[in-house]
Amino acid sequence: MTLTSLPLDILILILQNLSVGELAALSSTCQVLKVLVYEYGWSEYLRANPRPSYSLARARSCWSSRFSAQYDALTDAAWMRSDFIARPLSRPWAGKLQPILTINSSRLIVAAGNTIFSYKFSGSWKEKLSPSVLSQGSYSLSPAVSRHRDVTAITAVEDGGLDRTFYAGFQDGSIERITLIEDSADGRSAFSLKRHLVQAADGRDDLVESLSAIHDTSLSLTASGRATLSRLTSIPSVTSRIELNTRSWTAYLCGNASGPYAAFGTSSTTPLAVHSIREDQLCPQPTAILHTKSSLHQLPSSAVYGICQAPPASPWGSSPQMIISGWFDGKVRCYDLRCSSRGGPSSPVMTLSDPWSYESIYSISSGGGFSSCIAAGFARHSVVSFWDVRSPKAGWSVHAPGNDPSPVYSIILESSRLFGVTQSRPFVYDFGPEVSLSTYPSLPSARGVDGLKLMKGYSGPGFYVTTYLHNTCNDE
């Protein structure tokens, strides 16, 4: 009996367990198997091995399944070698800012001070070319520089697939709904903003620290600990509000779990708490307290600055009940809510750290190669650390392009790219194949030419990137 004599459903089941190399080899054996691999094999591989990525979404919609699988395989191999391109996305800004990032399938938005910068994903419809990122320019939200009008939080919200709507929180505590209006006149890509006040400043100067949104629900968190759950309609309606009564830093909204919840990072003796959401209401009391120990007796005060979901291909599975957090003590702690006692403390199932760094973690994200990586941005020297949770002891760290003596305030990790931002500029690490000088915006040097080269560990004159390995997994 030959392989081609097997029933079609059996052959499809066999294809589901093959790697990219095995599928390519099988498609070269005969015409029958080639047709089968091209029709079922590549698409089944992509379904079984998801690589979430906003910046590649438009290009992937035009790529063949075979090329998408090849792109992912080459990207995964680059992650294994820590082989990437480092590139700043702009020249340094004036002054020291605390910028924030948000992303959707059409663009990356950078909010720095009272200015919005837009980077559009044009995509590459041609296979073998890395999808490009184009600078659309900037837009000032206020005519005069005012600390009270600095953007302190921003998140993209769903708008029927238009990818033009964002919510922005400000230093004075107000929140605005911002719609980006594109203008392609004279062959130039530019934009303006349409603004609508959602929440007025209450006079307490209680800045908005965090904004997140899922589907038609948004969650905001102020510095004093006021958490507000709202419906995203033309006139947003507050459905629930609770007071955490402590200095608060970040919030994470999970709406795709069997029981929706919100996790809050604060400065306190219980710095990471989970509150269930029932019938659009935030439960005032935490349903789980996540800490560094299994007991709450004599716990020192600490702080959590970053929260994200676990990478899709983590050993714990892609369950939304997994939470990844970045702490004041410079450690990444991974929690499984399925292991927590109701209302009681829960200790981490994995702890990651860079033994060469004693700085706090300001930002955190998951994804990367094999959809199994965690990235953390540190509080000084523009350092980003990476771990593969399948082999957590083989972590490594890298300085952002420019080596700014700055925190990495915000990061977004995708399958082939990491977008980040320091006090001076946004940047990108690209692990994908076929990256060229035209992939990212041209940045004229003082001499008027783009001298930024695309090399591993080097991103232009004065922009050196150093990488180092560290043994990083430990149990507390």
DSSP three-state, residue 166: strand
The answer to whether residue 476 sits within a structural domain is no
pLDDT at 469: 57
Query: Which CATH number do you get for residue 238?
Result: 2.130.10.10
Range of the domain at 23: 3-71
pTM recorded for the entire structure: 0.90
Low-confidence ranges of the chain (pLDDT < 70): 1-4, 123-128, 143-148, 184-189, 234-236, 257, 293-299, 340-345, 444-476
Starting at the edge strand that comes first in sequence, how are the strands of the sheet with 100-103 ordered?
A: 100-103, 107-112, 115-121, 133-140
Within this chain, do residues 170 and 63 fall inside the same structural domain, yes or no? no
pLDDT at 29: 86
Given a contact cutoff of 8 angstroms between Cβ atoms, the answer to whether 20 and 6 are in contact is no
The answer to whether residue 29 sits within a structural domain is yes
The answer to whether residue 442 sits within a structural domain is yes
pLDDT at 356: 80
Within this chain, do residues 207 and 284 fall inside the same structural domain, yes or no? yes
The answer to whether residue 66 sits within a structural domain is yes
Total domains present in the chain: 2
pLDDT at 144: 61
Domain boundary among 71, 87, 103: 71
Within this chain, do residues 44 and 157 fall inside the same structural domain, yes or no? no
The answer to whether residue 474 sits within a structural domain is no
Q: Is the dihedral of CA 206, 212, 213, 217 positive or negative?
A: negative
DSSP per-residue codes, 389-406: TTSTT-EEEEEPTT--SS
Within this chain, do residues 136 and 52 fall inside the same structural domain, yes or no? no
Within this chain, do residues 247 and 106 fall inside the same structural domain, yes or no? yes
Residue 168 to residue 150: CA distance in whole angstroms: 10
The answer to whether residue 218 sits within a structural domain is yes
Within this chain, do residues 18 and 85 fall inside the same structural domain, yes or no? no
Domain boundary among 48, 71, 94: 71
pLDDT at 408: 97
